[in-house]
Structure 1
Amino acid sequence: MHDRHVEEVPPATPATASTGHDPVTVERGSFCTARCSCGWSGPARRSRDRARTDAAEHRAAP
């Protein structure tokens, strides 16, 4: 089985803090995926930084 490592996404700004989204990144093998408490999941990325960017963009989306 692959390891799972949950990593925090940078904190929300005051403007995005009230959206109700709580994205995190989850590592599985050599891939990292952004996931949110609302059920959204981003694509698997080899770049952890890009997965964090996906999560931050999701949090900022209306």
Structure 2
Amino acid sequence: MTQQDRSASSPGDGAAHTTTTVEHGPFCLARCTCGWRGPARRARSLARADAAGHTHD
């Protein structure tokens, strides 16, 4: 089953980055509308942290 979490970047940072986390088997990874992809993680919390780090860069 694929599960997605969505989070948006903070307003006013110029570029609109919308991130999601997607599950592929036992792994979860973060993706962004700009084309960025985070590393595959076994823990959803780490994938969410990768997404948060990307939107705050």
| Higher strand proportion (structure 1 or 2) | 2
TM, length-normalised to structure 1: 0.77
Contact 1:4–1:27 (8 Å) recurs in 2: yes
Q: Gaps (5+ residues) in structure 1? A: none
2:41 counterpart of 1:45: yes
Once residues 47 and 55 of structure 2 are traced to their aligned partners in structure 1, the CA distance between those partners, rounded to angstroms, is 12
Alpha-carbon RMSD across the aligned residues, in angstroms, is 1.6
Counting matched residue pairs gives 57
For 1:1-62, list aligned pairs within 5 A: 3-9=1-7, 12-14=9-11, 16=13, 18-61=14-57
Once residues 20 and 57 of structure 1 are traced to their aligned partners in structure 2, the CA distance between those partners, rounded to angstroms, is 15
Higher relative contact order at CA 8 Å, sep ≥6: structure 1 or structure 2? Answer: 1
Residue identity (%)? 46
TM, length-normalised to structure 2: 0.83
| Higher helix proportion (structure 1 or 2) | 1
| Amino acid paired to 2:34 | C
